[in-house]
Structure 1
Amino acid sequence: MIKLVADSGKEPLDLIYPDIYFLPEWGKFYETKEEQGEHAVFEVEHEWGHIFYQFIVRPVPVRLEGLTYFDIITPYGFSGPVILSGNPEKKQQLIELFEAQFGDYCKEHRIVTEYVRFSPWLKNRLDFKALYDFRDNGHVQFIDLTGEDFFMDQFASVSRGQVRKALKNDVEVEFDYTGEHVAEFHRLYMMTVTKNNIDPYYVFSIESLRQSFEVFKGKQFFLFAKHDGRYISCSFILHYGEYVHYHLTANDPAYSSLSGNSLIVYEMCRWGVEHGKKEVQLGGAPDKRLYRFKRNFNKTEPLELMMGKRIHDQEAYDSLVEAKKNTVGIEHAGYFPLYRG
C-alpha cells in the first residue's frame, strides 16, 4: 500500500543547472555547514561558453602579520566548476579564460587554497583535470533507471527477496512532499546517528530539515516505511533534472528484520521511472555492510569519487602551516589544507 502526503514533487521546467547540488540556493543554504562560511559564486560568461562555480569562503584560522587569509570549499554534496553551455571547439580556450580570471579573483581575495568535491556522475572534473591535484575518496554507486525493468535488471536476487518480504509483512510506504512528518524522520535519524556514531558534520537539526522543505520545494521528499501504523524507516530523497539522490537514511533498528529499507529503495526507483529520471545516486559507503546493501541494488560499475585540491598562494600557505606548527601544532599530517590539520 502506498500513501501520499500532499503529493506535489513537481520541479520547474526551466532547468539551467545539471543537478541539485549546483543550484545557488543549495550553496547558500548549506554555507553554515562550514564554520564562518560565506557562499560565493564565480562565473565566466563569454561567447565561447558559460562556466559556473559556487563555493564557500572560509577565513583561515591562522593569521599572518595581522592579515586574515581565506580558503574555499565546495558546498555539502558534490559540485565544483561546471560548463553550463558552450562551443565544444572552444572548450579549452574557455577553461583557460576561467583559470586566468579565477586566479585573479583568488589573489584579490587572499584565497590560499581550494578544495573541490567534484560530481562523480557528471564527471565535471575531467574538464578541469589539468588545474587540480586529486585525492581518491573511493567510489559511489548508482542505479540505472533507463532499462525496461530496473527490478529484474538491476536488483540482485537477495534485494528482490527483501522487497517481497517487506510487502508480505504488510510494510507500507508513505511519500511526504511537504515535510509534514519531519519530526518522525528526525526521530529515526537520531537513532541512526547514535548507532553509527555519525560525524557531527553530517547531522542535521530538525529546524534545518523543516526549513529545507521551504527552500527546495518540489525538489525533495521523505519516503517512509510503516508497519502497523508506526514509522520504522525513512529516506530523505532529493531530485532534480535526471537524478534522484538517496540523500539521508534513518531506521529504527528494532524493525530491521522487516526490510523496510529495501522497500524504500524499490519505491524510490519506481518513482524515478514514473517521473522520467535516469539514475538514482546511492552515494558511498563507509563500511562493508552498507556497501553490500547498496551493491545489491545495482549492476552498474561504481563511479570514482575524486576530490580536487590546489594551492593558489604557496608562500602564504607555507607560512600559515609553519605558524600553525609553532602555535597549537598539527594533529593530522595528511590533512588538506595542512594548516587546518
Structure 2
Amino acid sequence: MTVTLTSAIPDIFFLPEWGKAYESQDHGENCIFEFRNGTGHVFYQFIKRPIPIDAGGMQFYDTITPFGQSGPLIVECEEGKEKELAGAFDGAFQVYCEENRIVSEYVRFNGWLNNAKDFSHLYGMDNRGITMYIDLTVDDVFMQEFKSGTRQQVRRSLKNGVEVEYDFTGATIKEFHRLYTIMAKKNDIPDHYMFSEELLAESFNLLEGKQFIIYAKYGGEYISAALYLHHGDFLHYHLAANDPAFFNVAGNSLILHEGCRWGVENGKKEMHLGGASTDALYRFKRGFTKTEPLDILTGKKVRDEDAYALLVEAKKAREDIQNPSHFPLYRG
C-alpha cells in the first residue's frame, strides 16, 4: 500500500514545510532522507549545518533535527520488525553521511509519538527533562484537566473584561513580536534563542493553515499572545508573548483556555505545552493539566570518528572549549 506523505506524517514537526520554515534558526539547510525496503519506510528530516572550523581545507557538516521534537520516523513497517527496519535505515544513512562529509548527528526525538523506542539502540541517549500536555479527549477539559487555581485565573480574566482575538494569517505578527521581545528581555533570553519577526512572518506563508495566534486584549490593548501550531491530532502552544505589566489580569491563562476550546472544537486529542525552564513556569503550565509529563529524549551519534577527532583538535588549537559536555564537542 502506498502511503502519501501528508497522511503519513502525524505531527507538524515532521513536515517538510516545518523544517524549511525553521532551517535558518540552526544556520543550515533542511534535508530529507527517506529509506524504503521490503520491511517498511522510514522518513527523516534534519538540518545539515556547515561546521565553521578549518580542518585542512575540507568542509565538513553535522546534522540536527529542526527546532521542536521529531527525528527518524517509521511510516510503515511489517509488524514486529521495527528494530530490523531501524537498523537497515541506520546503515543506509551511514553511507549517506560518508558521501556528504557529515561528521555527527543530533536528534531531538518526539515525546508523544515515542519514536525513540524504535531507534534508541542506535544512539547515545540523554533525557533532557519533561514536556507537558493537556488531554483534550476528556469530557470537560476545564473541570477535569485544569486545577482549581487555574480555573480561578481564567474566571478572573473574564471578570476583568479581557477579550480574545484570533489571527490566522500572520497579519499582526509585528504586534506579536513586540510582546515576544518584551517577554524575552524580562527573562534574559539570549539573542541566539530568539525568533526574528521575519522568520515568524515567513512561517505563516510556509505553514499556511497550520498555525494561528490568539491574543488577549485589555482596554483595547494587546497584552498577551500565543502562537499555536496544529497538524493531525496534535495542537501545540508553540510560543508565548506577554507584557508583564498586565499579569494581574491573567490574560495568558485565558489564552490557554481559549486554545483548548479551539482544539476540542477542531477534533484535536492533545495540546502540548512544552517544558519549563523555571519553577514558576513549571507551576503555571502544570496548572492546566493533570496528565503525567512526557520525557524529552535526545540522541547523539558520531558518523566519522576520524573527522570528529580532527575537528575537536582544530577547535582546541584555535580556542578553548567552553562547554566540555556539549555535543558535538567541537561546537562546545
What range is the shorter-chain TM-score in?
Answer: over 0.9
Match for 1:115 among 86, 106, 111? Answer: 106
**1:44-78 deviations in Å (ceiling 9; x for gaps):** 12232110001111122223222111111111111
C-alpha displacement of 1:176: 1.0
Q: Distance in 2 between matches of 1:206 and 1:59?
A: 25
Match for 1:19 among 11, 15, 39? Answer: 11
- The letter for the 1-side match of 2:252 is N
Does the residue aligned with 1:61 lie in a helix, a strand or coil? coil
Is the CA contact (8 Å cut-off) linking 1:222 and 1:235 kept in structure 2? Answer: yes
Q: Distance in 2 between matches of 1:340 and 1:205?
A: 23
C-alpha displacement of 1:202: 3.0
Tell which deviates more after alignment, 200-209 or 258-267: 200-209
Does the residue aligned with 1:239 lie in a helix, a strand or coil? strand
- Could you tell me which residue of structure 2 aligns to residue 299 of structure 1? 290
C-alpha displacement of 1:14: 5.0
- Could you tell me which residue of structure 2 aligns to residue 3 of structure 1? none
- Could you tell me which residue of structure 1 aligns to residue 309 of structure 2? 318
Structure 2 residue 278 is the aligned partner of structure 1 residue 287: yes
- Could you tell me which residue of structure 1 aligns to residue 182 of structure 2? 191
Q: Distance in 2 between matches of 1:288 and 1:326?
A: 40
C-alpha displacement of 1:311: 0.8
- Could you tell me which residue of structure 2 aligns to residue 206 of structure 1? 197
- Could you tell me which residue of structure 1 aligns to residue 26 of structure 2? 34
Q: Distance in 2 between matches of 1:240 and 1:51?
A: 19
Q: Distance in 2 between matches of 1:317 and 1:46?
A: 30
Structure 2 residue 86 is the aligned partner of structure 1 residue 95: yes
- Could you tell me which residue of structure 2 aligns to residue 104 of structure 1? 95
Which runs of structure 2 are paired with 1:137-286 in the superposition (5 Å)?
Answer: 137-286=128-277
Q: Distance in 2 between matches of 1:134 and 1:295?
A: 26
Q: Distance in 2 between matches of 1:194 and 1:66?
A: 40
- The letter for the 2-side match of 1:113 is S
Q: Distance in 1 between matches of 2:208 and 2:257?
A: 23
- Could you tell me which residue of structure 2 aligns to residue 125 of structure 1? 116
C-alpha displacement of 1:26: 1.1
Does the residue aligned with 1:18 lie in a helix, a strand or coil? coil
Match for 1:308 among 284, 291, 299? Answer: 299
C-alpha displacement of 1:120: 1.1
C-alpha displacement of 1:93: 2.4
Query: Please, what TM-score do these two structures have when normalized by structure 2?
Result: 0.96
- The letter for the 1-side match of 2:144 is D
- Could you tell me which residue of structure 2 aligns to residue 4 of structure 1? none
Q: Distance in 2 between matches of 1:239 and 1:207?
A: 21
Does the residue aligned with 1:62 lie in a helix, a strand or coil? coil
Q: Distance in 2 between matches of 1:102 and 1:41?
A: 11
Count of paired positions: 328
- Could you tell me which residue of structure 1 aligns to residue 55 of structure 2? 64
- Could you tell me which residue of structure 2 aligns to residue 85 of structure 1? 76
Q: Distance in 1 between matches of 2:268 and 2:161?
A: 28
Is the CA contact (8 Å cut-off) linking 2:83 and 2:119 kept in structure 1? Answer: no
Query: Please, what TM-score do these two structures have when normalized by structure 1?
Result: 0.93
- The letter for the 2-side match of 1:26 is W
User: What's the % identity of the aligned pairs?
Assistant: 52
Is the CA contact (8 Å cut-off) linking 2:69 and 2:109 kept in structure 1? Answer: yes
- The letter for the 2-side match of 1:80 is G
Q: For structure 2, which runs of at least 5 residues remain unmatched after alignment? A: none
Q: Distance in 2 between matches of 1:298 and 1:274?
A: 18
Change (3 A) 1:89 1:135: closer
C-alpha displacement of 1:126: 0.8
- The letter for the 1-side match of 2:24 is T
- The letter for the 2-side match of 1:301 is E
Is the CA contact (8 Å cut-off) linking 1:63 and 1:69 kept in structure 2? Answer: no
